[in-house]
Amino acid sequence: MDIAITGSTGLIGEALCTSLLADGHRVVRVVRRPPNGADEIGWDPDGDRFDPADLRGIDAVVHLAGEGIAEKRWTDAQKARIENSRTKSTDLLARRLAEADDGPRVFVSGSAIGYYGDRGDEELTEQSPAGTGFLAGVCERWEAAAEPARVGGIRVAHIRTGIVLDSHGGVLAKQLPLFKLGLGGRIAGGDQYMSWIHIDDEVAAIRWVLDHDIEGAVNLTAPTPVTNRAFTDALAKVLHRPSFLTVPGFGPKVIFGGELVEELLLASQRVIPQRLTAEGFTFAHASIEPALRDLLGAPPG
């Protein structure tokens, strides 16, 4: 397959490109700078510039680009950047896909489990309604922005990704230094659910969606979400370190702001990948402790 990918230098994008290239697929990176060679396409989402002719002969587009959610405090300006980087770019791609001659017939567009908001211990599937809050609203509008492609006859899948675990980046990599020092601990009460996924399963699931006739929302999370307490205990066990500390909720709020912490660190989302499992996808890493052992090169427990 010839697959165009936005956000190809991010945690997920880089891993996806590596996997596809290793299996002989052609990857075309969609970049904001001037393209460098036949395996790059230039675009400018802010300027609404993307030539549909560049999509000729491409089989599918995977859209992973977007402003980092937790990179900065959520000022009004930063919240606008977070939303616009997703909705404007998705709308641009969707319109150009619908216009392209001999272009892609598949559009796998990023989304997130933030769609569901803070839902306690409620089990959430793709049929669950959207929640409330900033991220839930962003995800709703993000997914809606892909509508022109669907109307144009393109198969559109919205991959609602959970917390991607990778020792080289993302949440896990940021936590490792503290945990290795024995200073890791649960956040607040630790009862909030974390819906996670191993980076290898994230990549495999995206590829599965590309290869199968599935459209609409698809939860990309492991089938066994865990509480923050259970995650903390598992990580400490794998590292042979204590995990008796508790990080009070007000501490991160001082650094990152209350709204960000409430929605990213304290919100509880018990998400189940109902569609993936029902339609035949098999997770290589379904349980948290074995997944962490694999990522950190630790022997089986």
Residue-range domain boundaries for the chain? 2-230+253-296
Residue 75, amino acid:
T
The first and second tokens of residue 186, run together, are 């649960």
The pLDDT value recorded for residue 58 is: 96
The pLDDT value recorded for residue 254 is: 59
CATH 3.40.50.720 assigned to domain 2-230+253-296? The reply is: yes
For 161-180, b where at least 16 C-beta lie within 10 A, e where not — what string?
bbbbbbeebbbbeeebeebe
The pLDDT value recorded for residue 258 is: 85
The pLDDT value recorded for residue 266 is: 93
3-state secondary structure of 6: strand
Using one digit for the tens of pLDDT, what is the confidence trace for 34-46?
Answer: 999 989 999 999 9
Using one digit for the tens of pLDDT, what is the confidence trace for 230-243?
Answer: 999 999 999 999 88
The pLDDT value recorded for residue 255 is: 59
Q: Are residues 270 and 117 in contact, defined by beta-carbon separation less than 8 angstroms? A: no
The first and second tokens of residue 224, run together, are 């066994």
The pLDDT value recorded for residue 252 is: 67
Which pTM value belongs to this model? 0.95
Share the mean pLDDT of the chain: 94
**C-alpha radius of gyration, the chain, whole number:** 19
